[in-house]
Amino acid sequence: MTGADLFIVLIAMVGGAIRVSTPFMFVALGECLTEKSGRINLGHEGNLVLGAMVAYAGSYTTGSPWLGVLMAGCAGLVLGALHGWICKLPKVNDIAVGIAFMSFGTGLAFFFGKPYIQPSAPRLEAIPLGDWTGNSSIAQALQVNPLFFVGIALSVFLWWAFRNMRWGLILRMTGDSAASAKAMGVSVDMVRLLATAAGGFLAGVGGAFLSLYYPGSWNEGLSSGQGLMAVALVIFARWDPVRCVFAALLFGAAGAIGPSLQSIGISQGYYFFNAAPYILTLFIMIASARSKSAAREAPGELSIVK
Amino acid sequence: MTAVVSPPAARPISLGPRTMRALEALVIPLGALIASALLFSVFLILLGKSPATFFSLIWTGGFGSSFSIQNTLQRSAPLILTGLAFAIPARIGLTLIGAEGALVLGGFTAAAVAIPLVTGGIAPVVTLPLMALSAMAVGAVWIGLAGWLRHYRGVNETISSLLLSYIAVAIMNFFVEGLLRDPASANKPSTMPIGDAYRVGSMPGTSVHWGLAAGLVLAVALWILMTRTTFGFAARMTGGNVRAAKAQGLPVGFLVVACCAIAGACAGLAGFYEVAAVHGQANASLVAGYGFTGILVAFLARQNPLAVVPVAIMFGALAASGGLIQRRMGMPDATVLVLQGIIFVVLLVSETFYGRIPFLQARTTGDRT
């Protein structure tokens, strides 16, 4: 591998990380919001796939990709609200409900998505940030989708809101101690329902990015565990929205290794590199599972870290 | 003065708490099934399709003829095994959803082990058991790893097992598209076919492969293991309360890993039968979702190994009638997925009714809290 090749691979990885990380970012922010309220939603994979399908269908029928994004968010919102409602029933396990919603959301998406596999819908436009360099591979890598910036802005807003806004404090209190929330007269179930619904909305938007920007088409193999990896990512980011963005970028870079190497003609081990994000996630989970700082920052009511 | 032993007070129903609990475990899932059927009917009506046609097609496609019954049983064989793969760790309190990966990797291992043995001309009597054993061993290691990480490293087993599933599929793809690819498989990369002489045959008088018999035997054996042995008792106690089990000096780590390994072996065996009896080689067809349907099977069977069998047959029928529904009603094959998703969600909602339906409660006090 020459120096020029290495440069191309690195640039492709940076660009890939930006592209691949966006859905991770949205799902992770949604999951972070949900988990801060003390509940876990493992079903975001379902939201992601359904969101991708709805966004594509919405963009195809209305002609406006941004309307598609909104519709995807609403589909995710409905799934999230259902999840939140079911979890408030006594004796119902939130992890199991998440698994059920993974298959329910995916099933709905495949069912209604059949007619949209062939037609081509208008995509989201990227912002060309690298044209001034005059280098085609840099320009290619710096084609950044506006949703990426929306995600970053949102993460900073959430980070700020968790500390400074009334609802942020209520959300965190509910997540840390349901008993104290009750003592303050806060309806724990309602807070968690709203948090899960809002989290579902964000996961749906993440799905819209998949079908409307990168890879940029709707098919049944579109998502492969991004929704689930985001749950691990939130644990890794220790429930901090800003750290979620960095974790998402790291995951995106891992996911971009295979395609980047392919761009300079190395296709050996492509399938092995496909597994890189999963292996990375697993190692990160092993590393962060017994970490004391993670245990300290975890919402106290969360079933997954108990 | 002698103590007067009063006869037990007469009860309106003389069913004991065990019977009542069993009845509850039968009535509530059945109710959930009926409720999901109704919900799905509403879904069909909204789409302008007839629920009556749908359910009668499921009956025809699943049980209508001897061909469809055999088709159903053929498809329920892997579901029994993957259902067991979820149910056994569930008894010890783990939610493992990685059976799909163990199935794929087990099937791939069986096909890979077969390559030197078949080309070397080793007799099928030796080759097939070796394939089955290696598939089970690999499955056991794969799921056992999730259990080990859970117990010794505190890694959430639900997420790690699903990640391991994706890694398993990637490992198979890596080899099937590369090193072990059969040059003859142009359109669909596959390993070398094991050949008809090495196929697992059908059970006498049927066209159903022996995987069904293996599933039935394992279901009974694991039921005995979990309910009639010290191992099963210790495992269920650990599932009920880990701390109490540790305080009693039970080898919790061993129990957890052993239950996971059993689960992985079941899923790996399912993969072996998919390769040795159905496909004859390892390729992407192994990733057929049996592992995920197995989760639903186990939930509906309330993690009881014996109940897994009829539930698996029911879902086998659903899978077998998928094609018929597609052709006759013009609905996509994902219809079955939607129905499964609805059943899954409604089933979990139904969990809330345990202990809350008055006529299903035993009349003794202090038994259930």
Give the CATH number of the domain where residue A278 resides: 1.10.3470
Question: A28-52 burial, b if ≥16 CB within 10 A, otherwise e?
Answer: bbbbbbbbbbbbbbbbbbbbbbbbb
Cβ–Cβ contact A104 with B under 8 A: yes
Give residue B244's pLDDT band: very low, low, confident or very high (50, 70, 90).
Answer: very high
| CA B149/CA B157 separation, integer angstroms | 7
Total residue count of chain A as it appears in this document = 306
Give residue A305's pLDDT band: very low, low, confident or very high (50, 70, 90).
Answer: low
Is the pLDDT assigned to residue B11 strictly greater than 90? no
- Host domain of residue A8: 3-117+147-305
ipTM of this complex: 0.92
- Which residues lie closer than 8 Å to A28 by C-beta, 6 or more apart? A230, A233, A234, A237, A244, A247, A248
Would you call A82 and B345 a contact, using CB atoms and an 8 Å cutoff? Answer: yes
Which of B296, B334, B351 is nearest residue A110 as measured by Cβ atoms?
A: B334
Give residue A110's pLDDT: 94
Mean pLDDT, to the nearest integer, of B62-76? 94
**Domain presence at residue B173:** yes
| Contacts across the A-B interface (CB distance below 8 Å) | 126
Would you call A104 and B341 a contact, using CB atoms and an 8 Å cutoff? Answer: yes
Would you call A103 and B292 a contact, using CB atoms and an 8 Å cutoff? Answer: yes
Would you call A101 and B345 a contact, using CB atoms and an 8 Å cutoff? Answer: yes
**Domain presence at residue B8:** no
Tokens, residue B211: 């995987």
Distance from the Cα of B228 to chain A's closest Cα (Å) equals: 28
| CA B128/CA B133 separation, integer angstroms | 9
Residues B299-323 have pLDDT tens digits of: 999 999 999 999 999 999 999 998 8
The larger pLDDT score, comparing residue A139 to residue B304, is at: B304
Give residue B128's pLDDT: 94
DSSP character for A127?
Answer: E
Q: Which residues of B touch A (CB under 8 A)?
A: 95, 97, 149, 153-156, 158-160, 162-164, 166-167, 170-171, 173-174, 177-178, 292, 295-296, 299, 332, 334-335, 337-342, 344-345, 347-349, 351-352, 354-355
Nearest CA in chain B to A269: B174
**Domain presence at residue B42:** no
Q: Is B37 helix (H, G, I), strand (E, B) or coil?
A: helix
Q: Compute the half-sphere exposure of residue B52: CA atoms within 13 Å on the CB side of its CA.
A: 0
What's the mean pLDDT when you consider all of chain B? Answer: 90
Residue with tokens 């245990």: A295
Mean pLDDT, to the nearest integer, of A80-107? 93
Give residue B249's pLDDT band: very low, low, confident or very high (50, 70, 90).
Answer: very high
Mean pLDDT, to the nearest integer, of A169-176? 94
Give residue A24's pLDDT band: very low, low, confident or very high (50, 70, 90).
Answer: very high
Distance from the Cα of A276 to chain B's closest Cα (Å) equals: 8
**Domain presence at residue B344:** no
| B155 interaction partners in chain A (CB closer than 8 Å) | 282, 285-286, 289
Give residue B9's pLDDT: 52
Mean pLDDT, to the nearest integer, of B76-103? 96
- Host domain of residue B303: 80-309
> What is the share, in percent, of chain B residues with pLDDT greater than 70?
94
Would you call B345 and A97 a contact, using CB atoms and an 8 Å cutoff? Answer: yes
Distance from the Cα of B327 to chain A's closest Cα (Å) equals: 15
Is the pLDDT assigned to residue A13 strictly greater than 90? no
Are A132 and A72 in contact by the 8 Å Cβ rule? The answer is no
Residues A176-216 have pLDDT tens digits of: 999 999 999 999 999 999 999 999 999 999 999 999 998 88
Distance from the Cα of A138 to chain B's closest Cα (Å) equals: 30
Q: Could you count the other beta carbons within 10 Å of the beta carbon of residue B240? A: 12
**Domain presence at residue B133:** yes
Is the pLDDT assigned to residue B7 strictly greater than 60? no
Would you call A86 and B345 a contact, using CB atoms and an 8 Å cutoff? Answer: yes
Give residue B279's pLDDT: 92
What's the gap between Cα A223 and its chain centre? 11
**Domain presence at residue B96:** yes
Burial class (CB in 10 A: 0-12, 13-18, 19+), A279: middle
Give residue B368's pLDDT: 47
| B340 interaction partners in chain A (CB closer than 8 Å) | 103, 107
Give residue B367's pLDDT band: very low, low, confident or very high (50, 70, 90).
Answer: very low
In DSSP terms, A128 is beta-bridged to A143
Give residue B1's pLDDT: 45
Would you call B337 and A107 a contact, using CB atoms and an 8 Å cutoff? Answer: yes
What's the mean pLDDT when you consider all of chain A? Answer: 89
| B162 interaction partners in chain A (CB closer than 8 Å) | 225, 228
DSSP character for B279?
Answer: I
Mean pLDDT, to the nearest integer, of B342-363? 88
Question: A226-241 burial, b if ≥16 CB within 10 A, otherwise e?
Answer: bbbbbbbbbbbbbbbb
What's the gap between Cα A45 and its chain centre? 9
Total domain count, chain A = 1
Which of B155, B174, B347 is nearest residue A289 as measured by Cβ atoms?
A: B155
Residues B110-152 have pLDDT tens digits of: 999 999 999 998 899 999 999 999 999 999 999 999 999 999 9
| B354 interaction partners in chain A (CB closer than 8 Å) | 91
Total domain count, chain B = 1
Are A203 and A30 in contact by the 8 Å Cβ rule? The answer is yes
Question: B119-151 burial, b if ≥16 CB within 10 A, otherwise e?
Answer: eeeeebeebbeebbbbbbbbbbbbbbbbbbbbb
Is the pLDDT assigned to residue B205 strictly greater than 50? yes
| CA B8/CA A141 separation, integer angstroms | 81
Residues A224-250 have pLDDT tens digits of: 788 888 888 898 888 999 999 999 999
| A274 interaction partners in chain B (CB closer than 8 Å) | 170, 173
Distance from the Cα of A290 to chain B's closest Cα (Å) equals: 6
**Domain presence at residue B264:** yes
Give residue A196's pLDDT: 97
Q: Compute the half-sphere exposure of residue A128: CA atoms within 13 Å on the CB side of its CA.
A: 10
**Domain presence at residue B85:** yes
Cβ–Cβ contact A95 with B under 8 A: yes
The larger pLDDT score, comparing residue B1 to residue B243, is at: B243
